[in-house]
Amino acid sequence: MKRRIIISIVVWNLLFVISTNGQDLHFSQFMNSPLTTNPANTGFIPGGDYRVGVNYRNQWSSIMAIPYKTMSAFGDAQVMRNRFETGWIGAGGVILRDVAGSGNLTSTKIYGSLAYHQLINAGSLVSAGFNVGWANKQINVTNLKFPDQYDGKFFDNKLPTSVILANNNISYLDIQLGLNYAYFPNEKIYLNAGYSAHHVNRPRESFFNQTAGVDNRVAIRHIGFINGSFLVNNQWLVNPNIYFTTQAKSIELVAGMNAHYDLSGDGAYQLIGGLYYRYKDALIPMVGLQWNDIKATFTYDVTISTLKNYNNGRGAFEFSLIKEGLFDSYMGNKRQSMCPDLRNKAY
């Protein structure tokens, strides 16, 4: 069993060094990472003028000496609302950082994001956006072990290897595009669907020299989602979500729902609970709290795939903290939420 685990670790080390066809960095709480899900979400803040947030994901701590850690910080705002009668521009940015495995494969991405949002009638909104950024990856090869360093009993990274990297630090330009549509006929119903394409410029990403017949360009990643929000009564708000992404031959499907329960009677304090399912991979329970315009949520990926044989069913945990607000909270009814909100009940 130990040998199988070691071999698995080696394989994953190699995949992160060599392959460019795997999935990008991602969060189970995709709905709480709006700018990485779709650049058209930039400035699409149904109940506020600005939004800032952080996300943290830790996974494989039960089978890796150094667990994989993914972190992000983002911020966006609605600007030039007084320049357009029924539309506005969203501007923002996001920083992503990921440290993976014993090779300390470090990925850093910094994006600037713009979107335009246009009301097409009293209850519909269309949005289009893009982001452009700088991506960097680097790796510490001294901690990696390769297949030809296996001596029959152990992997010894002091043994010579035929694997030679041309560079352990690479950078490139990265571009994403996205579209959104929102439908909100009244204060109790809200639906939102979107599509985005990531890495549309197909940047080259490899630590090796370009080899004939080897495609080292990053595959375009496609993301689609549907979000809903329904005010059930004066205490309950439910939010179903569906998320699908595909990149090269990898696919991911996540579906589920979370609900908000009014603890204070005026919506100022809300308890959050939910459950999501990642197809053939994990169950993802969610718990959280919202107080006024700050929301904190925690999820835990419970592995149900064959990987549970190695991690005892334990998977990844995530934490998200988001604040939405108004530039001037004394502007009266300047901003009416397009999304059902227990703080602005339709009762």
pLDDT in tens, 98-144: 887 655 688 999 999 999 999 998 889 999 999 999 999 888 776 66
How many Cα neighbours within 13 Å face the side chain of 213? 0
Q: Is 62 helix (H, G, I), strand (E, B) or coil?
A: coil
Q: What 8-state DSSP symbol labels residue 218?
A: P
Q: CA 344, CA 333: separation in Å to the nearest integer?
A: 12
What gap in Å lies between CA 341 and CA 337, rounded to an integer?
7
Residue keyed to tokens 């969610």? 286
* Cβ 144 vs Cβ 11: under 8 Å: no
- Burial string for 82-117 (b: 16+ CB within 10 Å, else e) reads eeeeebbbbbbbbebbbbbbbbebebebebebbbbb
User: In what helix (H) or strand (E) does residue 4 lie, and over which residues does it extend?
Assistant: helix 2-18
Cβ atoms of residues 175 and 199 within 8 Å: yes
Structure tokens at 133: 């950024």
pLDDT at 56 over 90: yes
Copy the structure tokens of residue 9. Answer: 């670790």
Task: State the pTM of this model.
Answer: 0.84
Q: Are 34 and 41 in contact (CB under 8 A)?
A: yes
Q: What is the pLDDT of residue 333?
A: 42
Helix (H) or strand (E) run with residue 194 in it: strand 189-198
For a pLDDT cut of 70, what percent of the chain falls above it?
75
